[in-house]
Each structure stands twice: as structure tokens, then as C-alpha cells.
């Protein structure tokens, strides 16, 4: 089970002396814990099971290869091949008896599944999802719309599968899931629930099972506030007629308010003044009232007792996706890029000029920042991975200390529907469709900041602008490229593009410098938008950390405009810290890792006693000690690297499709001298063989000390998330779930044998 979430405890901020009433200008913020009494834990009921039998009567199989496998007395139907495969089963089921169909099976590869249900021979339901590879049987759920009971008798179920690799179907299960089973159970604590493009921290409320809590009123300006909404999974015929009833107090003094449930897929916000109850401790009750024949349910979120007060501290973390360290005016790298907002931030804080990421891919890098553990130990190695609830996040650490937590991400796969980094946030916004640009993302975060009512706040903003395809808005598209020039002009010389290493949408350009100018335009644009965020009164006097998840290869080893491999260009990231206690106008050249940002922000905010991995980055500012050895693990776990001073070593862990003209062999070693060859164009492995052997041994030892289990979890991936990832070039991402050795130290392959 997940460790208890300290964030759920009622917390008072800026407390007065014990036993005394807080001063009128002191802020108060208390999360109200709600529970449900005397209700058995909701259990799903399986109403029918279809299992393969010898002879496959009623089962139609389309596959290159198929066979029945025995599992004790039961059988499984295995399908192999690379072409699309399908299974269709004749049946007779009453849709009123179930609201979920589960495909139980063993999936040894990442596959896209499509489930179809047939009535009178016509498909009445089709839904797609994706599963990651993993060991052991799993049940993949497909939830049905609430109106499915009017379809008539179900006469067939079909599973269509695309993607290479074998899979085995053990059963189709028809399940009646109680409404409460689709929602966060109060006894398990709140979790982040998305509705539209906003997710909130909440628990489920169903008819006949009221939620109860208590609150103590200390000041006439205090309010009870809460949000509620109806996810599509629990929208029923009774939802629109149902009322949310809030009861406060007891006996004749009880206050009751009723609210209609929103059925449009949005959140509804409500507030109740508590001025008449100063000095009282009151029971609080939330219930649903409606037609008993049509059960209803909703999510009750952000139930809080609050009172705004004097300005309170804030911590702002900004992560700029795919942002190179040298594309920052304050970096003084010789790159002609204007970033006055970030330069000013560096001027009032400290710029770390030698900060490296733990990986070259978005989601695993953000997991490292938010948990303090890089992909070697988190085992989240792809954008299609998922973070387990067992992980302790930076947002949870701030929430447990009583801070409000809000976040905005500019791509779906970083949000609550994707990797799982909504964990610990009270509120989070993400795009439903295409990625947001900086203006949209900043607008969304400013709205959340405004709603936070002066409480101590941890805010995270993720920007996606510097990521491919480099398409800055008007005014920035020609900021670094003359408007009169045409980068596709056929009279220009044939470009040097290395076929197979270039994003397809860049093939039309004859001028190889053009995409880089657009990359600069994106960075100047996002810098402009950050100016109004940094100026907001709730954030201006607090702490700010600015960094990137990884960098970008512009042209290295014949590879153009990507971050597909481990190189300094993809690992070196900008890092700026500013705020009270951070030395102003300093440049720190000591080697540091961006995974230590969380520990540093907690220390700066006065939460040094909060458990969280990492080291305080400020200690590196005046460090005179030896250089830190830094390690990295690539997307997909395909390669690992070590950086020690000016030596950089890369070890290919398994053969994979590279973004480089020359493929790398499994367990091949490359050693580069960054002083003489900062772009890593000429390996010196043979010339420095003894050193390479020593560094390789250290890298292998580091890989062997990986955590056994990590935080990676099995998860279904929505087709919308998959489509967006494919558009970004991540269609081949391979998640890693479960323990395995990254490399066998005793491997006797040809590449490893020469290092004995």
C-alpha cells in the first residue's frame, strides 16, 4: 500500500501562539479530511466470463500464428506476428448487467488494443487503448458509456491488436463496477482527477454514502470552499436531477445548501461564509440527493477552510523543454539569442553554468526533478512510462508542509492522463489537444495562482516551445532570420542533411541554418511570456528555479535537430536559482545535477527537515572539492554515460535505432575529451584505452547499484496521448517496468571481452 499521505492531514499555516486566536491579518489554510462511515469497500461483480476452450467454438481468430497454451486447467489463446490480429467471440449478454469489459491477458510487448462490442451484428462500441510490456497476467479495462444499457442484447465482442510481439488472451470478463469504484475512495485518500483541461485533488461521493468531516472556525472572514464535478465514467441518467447537499452544524442551527451537479465535464466551485460560527467546532457533511432509482456520483475536490492574509512565501519551478544551456543570454556563450527576462533572473540569483540532466527524454527527466531519483533508479525511461503512486514527489513534500500546490504542463503526457506527475498537486492544468504555447501555459498558471488566495504556494510551469518543430509565433519567426529570405529556395545549394537523422518536416529546407533561427525565436518568445509571470506579486518575492529537462542536438556527429542520444548537447541544461538566501549575481561553474533542485527548493523554503533525496545546490557555489562524477541513462535505457572532469564516456547497453549516421553495437564504448572535442566528434577510446577501461568499470558499477524496483508502474495509455507522442517523434518509446540489470558485468560478448 502507498505510504500515508501527510498532505491529507489538516494543517494550519502561520499559526498563532498555542491557545490564542490568530491575528486578523494572518493567513489560514486547512485541508479538510473527509471520511465515509459504515460503508463496505465497493467490490466489482463479475457477471460473465468468456474463456478459450479446445476447438475454439464461437471464437474467430485472425492471426499469422496462433495456439492454445495451458495454464493449469485453464487455457490461453496466444497470437503471434507483426501484422494486425484480432479475436471475435460470439456471446449473448445483457448490457444492463455490466459497465466494464476487461481483457485479461499476458502482454509481452507494447500493443494498441481496440475493443468492439456488437449488437445485432453492428458495432455499437469501439474504444482504443495501449498497453506496455510486462510480465504476468493483467486485466485491461474498457469502461462503457452510461447509456449502453439501451443497446439491446450484446451478441459479440472483438479485440483487434496492432504492434509487434506476442500476446495471450486468457478471458473476456464482463464486470459490474459500483460507481464508487470509478472514483478515488475516501479511505484511500484523495487523488488528482482530470475534468476537461483541469485536474483537482479529490475523493468520490456517491448516493447513499455521505462524506463527513469537522472544521473549527477561528475568524469571521474564514470560508469553506470546495469544488465538484462529474467524470464521464460516473455520469448516469440521474446525474442532471441530482443535488449536492452541504450541511454544516447540528440541531436547529444546521445550515444546508444545495447545488446542481454539472454534467458538462467541468468543475463547479462553491464557497460558504463561516462568520456566524466563530469559536465553534462544526460537523460537516456532503451528500447526494436525487432519484433513488438512478444512482448518481461525483468527485468532491479541494475541500478547504481558508482565510487570505498577508503575502506568503512562494516557490516557482519552471522547466523549459528541450532548452540548451548555451541558448541563454546570461550564459555568455556567443549565441545570439535575446532572453532579457531570464538574464534578469540570473542577475538577482545564481546561474549554474555546468548543470547536467540525468537523461535525454522529457518524462523521465521530470520524474528525476520531482522525485530526486534519475531513470536508473526510478526505472521510468520513456515518455510512455507511468509513475507509481508509491513515489514520493516534490509536490507531496510541499503539500505535507501545508503549502498549496499548483501545476501547468504544456503537453498531455506530463499531466494526470500521462506519466502521473499530477501526484501531490491540489490543482493542475494541461491541454486536451495540441501542446500549449507559452502564452497559454502562463495564462493557465496565473489563473491558478490567483485562486490560491495568498497561501504559501509551490507552483510548477512546464513550457514546450523550444521543442521541435520550432514554430515561433508571428514577430519571432523572423527575429533571427531575414524576412526577405526563403529557406526553401531551390537555387540554394543542396543541403548537408544526413538522411535518416533529420525530422521529416525539415527536409523541405535548403538552408540548414533556418531551423536553428526558429529555435532561437521560440526561446526569445517564451522569455517574453515569463516576464509577466515573474512580475506577479504572489511570485515576485519568492524563490524561482529555472531549468530544462534536456538539451538539443543542433548538429553533432552528422545528427541534426534532435535529442535522441546521450551527448553533452542533450545533457547540458540551463539552471538558475533566485530568491531569498540565494547569492545574487553569481556564476557557479561547479558541475551539478538538475535532479537536486527539489532538495534545494525545500531547504530554501525552510523545509530542510522534510525528507527528500538530493543535495543542496547552493553548497556547490563556493565548493573547492574534486569535480563531481555525473551519470546518465538514455531514453529507453539504450545507453549510459559518465562525465568525469573533461572526460566523457558512453556505453551502448543495447542495439537500437539511433539518430546517428553510424549505428552503435551493443556494449560498444566511446570516450571523448571534452576540452579538445566538446561536440564529441572523435572518439579517443583506443588512444586512452587504460582510462576508458577504468571509466567503463565505474559506469558498470554504477549501473549495478540501481534500485531493484523503482517507481515505474503498468498503465494504459490513451490514444490521444499516443497520437501526440507520435507527432513528437516518440512513437517508439519503450517503457521499463520491473527489475532487471541494465548490464551484466560478466558479459562475455566480443565488445565486453576486450575490457577484461
Give 506-544 pLDDT, tens digit per residue.
888 999 899 999 999 999 999 999 999 999 999 999 999
Give the three cell numbers for residue 154: 450484446
Q: How far apart are CA 528 and CA 443, in angstroms?
A: 13
Local confidence band at 714 (pLDDT 50, 70, 90 cut-offs): low
Q: How far apart are CA 86 and CA 20, in angstroms?
A: 69
The mean pLDDT of 417-422, rounded to a whole number, is 85
For residue 738, pLDDT beyond 70:
no
pLDDT above 70 covers a percentage of the chain that reads: 92
Convert the pLDDT of each residue in 376-399 to its tens digit: 999 888 887 778 888 999 999 999
For residue 754, pLDDT beyond 60:
yes
Fold match, 6-10+28-42+181-307 / 45-177: yes
Give the three cell numbers for residue 251: 440541531
Local confidence band at 12 (pLDDT 50, 70, 90 cut-offs): very low
Under 8 Å CB-to-CB from 200, ≥6 apart: which residues?
192, 193, 227, 229, 267, 299, 301, 302, 426, 427, 428
The mean pLDDT of 658-676, rounded to a whole number, is 89
SS3 labels along 300-361: EEEEEEEECCCCCCEEEEEEECCCCCCCCHHHCCCCCCCCHHHHHHHHCEEEECCEECCCCC
DSSP for residue 387: B
Given this model, what pLDDT does residue 460 score?
A: 98
Local confidence band at 10 (pLDDT 50, 70, 90 cut-offs): very low
For residue 725, pLDDT beyond 60:
no
Choose between 661 and 582: higher pLDDT. Answer: 582
Q: Which residues pair with 697 in a beta bridge?
A: none
Q: Is 207 exposed, middle or buried (0-12, 13-18, 19+ CB in 10 A)?
A: buried
Give phi and psi for 271, each to the nearest 5: -135, 145
For residue 2, pLDDT beyond 50:
no
Q: How far apart are CA 511 and CA 384, in angstroms?
A: 34
Convert the pLDDT of each residue in 245-268 to its tens digit: 999 988 777 889 999 999 999 999
Which fold, 6-10+28-42+181-307?
A: Jelly Rolls (2.60.120)
> Omega before 562 cis (within 30°)?
no
Listed residue (54, 95, 94) closest to 75, CA to CA: 54
Choose between 500 and 394: higher pLDDT. Answer: 394
Given this model, what pLDDT does residue 242 score?
A: 94
Model-level pTM? 0.90
For residue 739, pLDDT beyond 70:
no
Q: Where are the domains of the chain?
A: 6-10+28-42+181-307, 45-177, 314-626
Average pLDDT, the chain: 89
Given this model, what pLDDT does residue 737 score?
A: 47
Sheet with 154-162, side-by-side order of all strands:
59-62, 85-93, 154-162, 111-119, 122-131, 717-718
Which fold, 314-626?
A: Alkaline Phosphatase, subunit A (3.40.720)
The mean pLDDT of 150-176, rounded to a whole number, is 93
Given this model, what pLDDT does residue 191 score?
A: 92
| 504-to-1, 471, 564, 640 alpha-carbon distances in Å | 46, 15, 15, 27
Convert the pLDDT of each residue in 70-111 to its tens digit: 999 899 999 998 899 999 999 999 999 999 999 999 998 888
* Residue environment code for 355-376, b if the CB has 16+ CB neighbours within 10 A, otherwise e: bbbbbbbbbbbbbbbbbbbbbb
User: Residue 161 in contact with residue 84, Cβ under 8 Å?
Assistant: yes
Given this model, what pLDDT does residue 332 score?
A: 96
Q: Looking at domain 45-177, what is its CATH homologous superfamily?
A: Galactose-binding domain-like (2.60.120.260)
For residue 452, pLDDT beyond 90:
no
Strands 457-463 and 314-320: parallel
Amino acid at each position: 500500500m502507498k505510504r500515508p499521505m501527510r498532505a491529507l492531514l489538516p494543517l494550519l499555516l502561520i499559526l498563532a501562539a498555542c491557545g490564542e486566536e490568530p491575528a486578523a491579518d494572518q493567513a489560514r489554510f486547512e485541508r479538510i479530511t473527509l471520511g465515509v462511515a459504515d460503508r463496505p469497500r465497493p467490490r466489482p461483480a463479475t457477471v460473465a466470463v468468456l474463456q478459450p476452450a479446445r476447438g475454439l467454438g464461437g471464437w474467430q481468430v485472425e492471426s499469422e500464428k496462433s495456439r492454445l497454451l495451458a495454464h493449469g486447467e485453464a487455457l490461453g489463446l496466444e497470437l503471434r506476428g507483426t501484422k494486425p490480429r484480432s479475436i471475435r467471440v460470439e456471446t449473448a449478454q445483457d448490457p444492463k448487467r455490466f459497465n466494464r469489459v476487461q481483457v485479461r491477458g499476458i502482454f509481452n510487448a507494447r500493443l494498441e488494443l481496440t475493443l468492439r462490442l456488437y449488437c445485432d451484428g453492428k458495432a455499437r462500441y469501439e474504444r482504443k487503448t495501449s498497453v506496455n510490456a510486462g510480465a504476468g497476467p493483467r486485466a485491461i479495462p474498457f469502461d462503457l458509456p452510461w447509456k449502453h444499457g439501451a443497446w439491446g442484447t450484446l451478441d459479440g465482442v472483438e479485440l483487434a491488436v496492432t504492434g509487434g510481439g506476442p500476446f495471450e488472451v486468457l478471458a473476456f470478463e464482463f464486470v459490474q463496477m459500483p460507481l464508487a469504484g470509478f472514483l478515488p475512495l475516501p479511505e484511500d485518500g484523495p487523488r488528482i482527477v482530470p475534468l476537461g483541461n483541469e485536474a483537482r485533488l479529490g475523493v468520490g461521493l456517491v448516493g447513499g454514502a455521505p462524506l463527513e468531516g469537522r472544521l473549527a472556525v477561528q475568524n469571521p472572514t474564514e470560508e469553506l470552499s470546495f469544488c465538484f464535478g462529474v467524470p464521464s465514467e460516473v455520469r448516469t441518467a440521474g446525474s442532471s436531477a441530482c443535488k449536492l447537499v452541504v450541511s454544516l452544524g447540528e440541531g436547529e442551527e444546521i445550515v444546508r445548501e444545495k447545488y446542481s451537479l454539472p454534467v458538462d465535464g467541468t468543475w463547479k466551485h462553491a464557497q460558504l461564509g463561516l462568520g456566524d460560527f466563530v469559536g465553534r467546532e462544526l460537523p460537516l457533511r456532503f451528500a447526494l440527493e436525487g432519484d433513488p432509482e438512478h444512482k448518481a456520483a461525483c468527485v468532491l475536490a479541494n475541500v478547504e477552510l481558508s482565510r487570505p492574509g498577508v503575502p506568503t512565501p512562494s516557490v516557482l519551478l519552471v522547466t523549459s523543454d528541450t532548452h540548451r544551456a548555451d541558448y541563454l543570454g546570461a550564459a555568455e556563450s556567443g549565441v545570439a539569442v535575446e532572453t532579457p527576462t531570464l538574464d534578469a533572473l540570473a542577475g538577482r540569483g545564481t546561474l549554474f553554468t555546468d548543470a547536467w540532466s540525468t537523461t535525454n527524454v522529457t518524462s523521465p527527466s521530470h520524474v528525476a526533478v520531482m522525485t530526486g531519483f534519475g531513470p536508473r533508479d526510478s526505472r521510468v525511461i520513456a515518455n510512455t512510462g507511468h509513475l507509481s503512486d508509491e513515489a514520493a514527489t516534490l509536490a507531496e513534500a510541499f503539500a505535507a508542509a501545508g503549502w498549496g500546490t499548483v501545476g501547468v504542463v504544456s503537453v498531455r503526457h506530463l499531466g494526470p492522463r500521462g506519466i502521473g506527475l499530477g501526484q501531490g498537486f491540489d490543482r493542475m492544468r494541461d491541454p486536451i489537444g495540441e501542446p500549449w504555447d507559452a502564452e497559454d501555459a502562463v495564462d493557465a498558471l496565473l489563473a491558478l495562482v490567483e485562486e490560491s488566495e495568498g497561501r504559501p504556494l509551490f507552483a510548477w510551469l512546464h513550457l514546450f516551445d523550444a521543442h521541435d518543430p520550432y514554430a515561433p509565433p508571428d514577430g519571432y519567426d523572423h527575429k533571427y532570420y531575414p524576412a526577405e529570405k526563403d529557406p526553401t529556395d531551390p537555387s540554394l545549394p543542396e543541403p548537408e542533411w544526413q538522411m535518416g537523422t533529420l525530422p521529416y518536416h525539415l527536409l523541405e529546407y535548403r538552408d540548414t541554418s533556418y531551423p536553428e533561427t526558429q529555435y532561437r525565436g521560440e526561446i526569445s518568445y517564451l522569455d517574453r511570456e515569463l516576464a509577466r509571470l515573474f512580475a506577479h506579486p504572489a511570485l515576485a518575492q519568492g524563490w524561482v528555479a529555472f531549468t530544462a529537462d534536456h538539451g538539443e542536438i543542433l548538429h553533432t556527429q552528422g545528427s541534426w535537430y534532435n535529442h535522441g542520444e546521450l551527448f553533452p548537447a542533450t545533457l547540458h541544461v540551463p539552471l538558475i536559482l533566485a530568491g531569498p538566501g540565494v547569492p545574487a549575481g553569481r556564476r557557479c561553474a561547479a558541475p551539478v545535477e538538475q535532479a537536486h533542485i527539489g532538495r534545494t527548493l525545500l531547504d530554501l523554503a525552510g523545509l530542510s527537515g522534510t525528507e527528500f533525496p538530493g543535495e543542496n545546490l547552493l553548497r556547490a557555489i563556493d565548493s573547492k572539492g574534486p569535480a563531481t562524477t555525473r551519470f546518465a541513462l538514455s531514453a529507453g535505457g539504450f545507453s549510459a554515460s559518465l562525465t568525469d572532469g573533461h572526460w566523457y564516456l558512453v556505453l551502448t547497453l543495447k542495439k537500437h535505432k539511433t539518430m546517428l549516421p553510424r549505428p552503435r553495437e551493443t556494449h560498444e564504448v566511446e570516450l571523448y575529451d571534452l576540452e579538445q572535442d566538446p561536440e564529441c566528434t572523435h572518439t579517443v577510446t583506443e588512444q586512452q584505452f587504460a582510462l576508458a577501461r577504468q571509466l567503463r568499470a565505474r559506469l558498470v558499477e554504477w549501473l549495478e547499484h540501481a534500485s531493484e524496483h523503482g517507481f515505474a508502474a503498468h498503465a494504459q495509455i490513451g490514444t490521444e496521448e499516443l497520437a501526440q507522442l507520435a507527432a513528437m517523434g516518440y512513437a517508439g518509446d519503450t517503457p521499463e517496468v520491473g527489475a532487471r540489470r541494465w548490464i551484466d558485468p560478466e558479459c562475455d560478448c566480443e565488445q565486453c571481452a576486450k575490457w577484461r
